[in-house]
Amino acid sequence: MRERILVLSADAHLRQWLVDILRSPQVLLETAANGPSGLSLVADREFDVLLVDAELPGMDGLETLSRVKTHAPRTGSVVLARKQSEELLLRSMRAGGGDFLRIPCNPEEIARAVERQMKLSLRQRQGPDRSQGSRRTLVRAFHSICLSLDLQGVPGRPLPGLQPLGVLARQVALGLNLSETAREEVQLATWIQAICDLPGEAPITIDWEELPAGVQALLEQGEGPAAQVVQLALALGRGDDIYEKGRFDPAMLELIPKGPQFKQVQRRAQLSRARALQDSGQNMEAVYLFEQLLKAEPNSPEVLLSLARLHRRPELVQQALSCSQKAGSWITAETCFEGGLVLHELNAPGAENLFSRSSRLYGDLRSRHRQALALLAQEWVAGTKLPAEVVRAAVEDLCSCPEPELLSAQADWLAPKLLAYPGLENTEAPRLIQRFLEEDSSRIASEIRRASWSLDARKGLARILGGLPWVPGREVLEVLEKDHSEEVRAAVPADIHVGSALPPILRIHALGPLEVYQGRRRLANNAWRTQRARRLVAYLATHWQEAHSEETLIDLFLADSPSPVRLQQLLEVARASLRPPGWQDVNYLLWEDGKLRFNLQLPRWVDVEQSEQSFARARQSQGEQAADLYRRVLAVDHGDFLEDFEEEWVIPIRLRQREQSLVARFWLARWSLEAGRPAETLEHAQWLLETNPNSEEAWVLSMDSLLALNRIEEALRTSERAKKAVPAPGTALKEAHRRAVASLS
């Protein structure tokens, strides 16, 4: 059977050139000079490949292609354009374009592109699953419906929510090595049945006859692993005892997170959306989400502090502090510090006392860098001056801080505070200032222009610039040289080493839902242009150690439409999504020796990288140093690795991160008990029991910490709970029980 190709261009010379290149006894070629003529031909007969000139008169080539794809979605396509821009590439992808070639190009490129599209068209026509596109459209549609229903707070909805229930079902199906088709069908069946099980009138009408056959079979109580996964997810959503003996395969149960941990996944996703809305200034929408979170978790210090900011209600800070005291000393210290920032922002009294308390608590916990930060914050809001030697010691502690992100988040007040002290250029302070400049010198320049920096801070910065190895760009230097104060202008050294300006640091949080920041500005979800681009960036950023071949990337992200040109289109969209405003030449994704990798020369911070480096160093350390590093592992751990992703490459990293988090928790729990800090041990032990209630060691640590705190009756009650939770109690648990009983006397 002859292959049929349609050439669509208003340029007669281009049409003829393409016909000459593609002419063959095996090919039937037809041409059209405009969009309507091409659509008429497509409506009349089936084509394998369409070559379309983007610059058609009237209805342009991409609009024509979009309409062709509506009627003939399996037709391959090659878009020809005389220029290449991000807007054109994005339009081509949205229209369903395959290869994208800039003309003039050589005949070999044309032939290769047509051959690729011909194979793709044939595979789509003859593939085993012709309903793939329809099924994936349904997945996206029901994902949005379930998110909407969850946010509305539909009464009687499955626990812990419709949307995460389907995500969990898909993850279990992935763990069972079910095919991609089966995973999508499992997810759809779970969502549809969960919606149908809602009380009262169904929120949407579902035409079961129009559903894919595989989904219908699962909804009809089919047999096999896929049907079991659906029933497992629905039982979990109803709150049934899924661990009832003989009800579900134990191997399947091992693939799901424990109840409290699963509920936290939904909470973290909602918290991430709320913070994104707050960062973008959509305060009313953010308040609604935070209040929904507070209904589900009324004792969350983090949510209460966010609402205190948004509602401008200082009394919520005290409520957050009361809740934090039930969670342990570390959470209390964090809440005191953040609460102090909120009160200062609201011009409310009490900030100085909260910073003072935070400093004392961190001192008791032997976290010197956090204690130093709280101490400087206390002095900042009080407007007093600490002795020079105290400030010098605090700066040294901050410079050895294993949590660079902690300091960066406080740079707006910390940098001018440090620079206001005379003589700090002879300490380690310049290292911190260098870091702040490299991360976002434009923001520092903007803060100085807004007159938010004191005269002493501006003079301190002017003096310190000459001692830095180099200054990124001239922006900060020019602001100081034009300062209205003669003292500041005179303090600027003449021998400053000025280097290339740097864009704001790119911060990528992948432990929990994916969040990306450019400096202090968060990228909204719609900044990604396409979800494929978002997934590509997440993969490259969290696999920073290696470069990736074209074949690997196509296999991971373009398996449904494999094409090097499509990969280039996706790459351009990803680059555009990451590019900060005003930095048109910045490129975070680089081709090197035929492979793609993240640009390691630009300022960047990735929580997974920091976590793994801290964990590796902690394993080689001891005592307080190891404790600080293990705490760093936990400080950046805001949930499972990319918990809003479902790709297979995510699973090994997710499992490794879980294991590292457990090791860090157990080490800190044991060490703090031996170091005479049972309150910290209890905090870690309670977390371990929430995620793994069968852990004998976690029960023992909890009981021993309670005994050390002289909470003997609570230790005995914990012992009784442990007997029920641990199937076969060992010697350690029995000995802990004896110690508790003996303490009564």
Smallest CA-to-CA distance from 266 within 643, 522, 531 is with 643
Alpha-carbon distances of 369 from 382, 637, 667, 683, rounded to whole Å: 20, 19, 20, 21
- pTM assigned to the model: 0.73
- The CATH number that domain 3-126 falls under is 3.40.50.2300
In this predicted structure, the answer to whether residue 260 has a pLDDT above a threshold of 90 is no
- pLDDT score of 257: 64
The pLDDT tens digits of the residues spanning 636-682 come to 998 889 987 878 888 889 889 989 999 999 999 999 999 888 888 99
65-74, 178-187, 612-621: which range is least confident on average?
65-74
| pLDDT, average across residues 456-465 | 91
Paired tokens of 662:
């457990």
Paired tokens of 196:
């149908």
Residue 160 preceded by cis peptide, ω within 30: yes
- pLDDT score of 340: 95
Task: Give the C-alpha separation, 266 to 269, whole Å.
Answer: 5
- pLDDT score of 262: 57
In this predicted structure, the answer to whether residue 129 has a pLDDT above a threshold of 50 is no
Residue pair 313/347 in contact by the 8 Å Cβ criterion:
no
Task: Give the C-alpha separation, 448 to 443, whole Å.
Answer: 9
- The CATH number that domain 626-744 falls under is 1.25.40.10
In this predicted structure, the answer to whether residue 37 has a pLDDT above a threshold of 80 is yes
| Cα-only R_g, the chain | 30
Alpha-carbon distances of 711 from 337, 507, 630, 729, rounded to whole Å: 28, 43, 27, 22
63-77, 88-102, 572-586: which range is least confident on average?
88-102
**What residue spans of 297-426 are helical by DSSP H?**
301-311, 315-325, 329-345, 351-364, 368-382, 388-399, 404-409, 411-419
Give 130's pLDDT tier (boundaries 50, 70, 90).
Answer: very low
* Sequence-separated (6 or more) residues with CB below 8 Å from residue 615: 629, 630, 633, 660, 663, 664
- The CATH number that domain 506-606 falls under is 1.10.10.10
- pLDDT score of 314: 94
Cα angle, residue 476 at apex, residues 472 and 479 outer, rounded to 5°: 155
211-215, 299-303, 539-543: which range is least confident on average?
211-215
Most trustworthy range by pLDDT among 66-80, 174-188, 189-203, 570-584: 570-584
Task: Give the C-alpha separation, 155 to 142, whole Å.
Answer: 19
- Tell me the DSSP string of 254-315: TTS--HHHHHHHHHHHHHHHHHHHHHTT-HHHHHHHHHHHHHH-TT-HHHHHHHHHHHT-TH
In this predicted structure, the answer to whether residue 733 has a pLDDT above a threshold of 50 is yes
162 alpha-carbon distance from chain centroid:
21
| pLDDT, average across residues 343-354 | 94
In this predicted structure, the answer to whether residue 40 has a pLDDT above a threshold of 50 is yes
Give 466's pLDDT tier (boundaries 50, 70, 90).
Answer: confident
Paired tokens of 417:
């505070």
Give 265's pLDDT tier (boundaries 50, 70, 90).
Answer: low
- pLDDT score of 480: 94
Task: Give the C-alpha separation, 553 to 555, whole Å.
Answer: 5
Alpha-carbon distances of 299 from 269, 293, 327, 343, 513, rounded to whole Å: 18, 10, 9, 19, 22
Residue pair 155/164 in contact by the 8 Å Cβ criterion:
no
In this predicted structure, the answer to whether residue 147 has a pLDDT above a threshold of 60 is yes
In this predicted structure, the answer to whether residue 128 has a pLDDT above a threshold of 60 is no
- pLDDT score of 163: 80
Looking up tokens 């070629």, which residue turns up?
Answer: 29
Cα angle, residue 594 at apex, residues 593 and 596 outer, rounded to 5°: 100
- More confident site: 503 or 285: 503
Q: In what side-by-side order are the strands of the sheet with 515-518?
A: 521-522, 515-518, 506-509, 604-606
- What residue ranges in 54-157 does DSSP mark as E strands? 76-81, 99-102
- pLDDT score of 178: 81
- Per the rule left: phi > 0, alpha: psi between -120 and 50, beta: everything else, 622 is beta
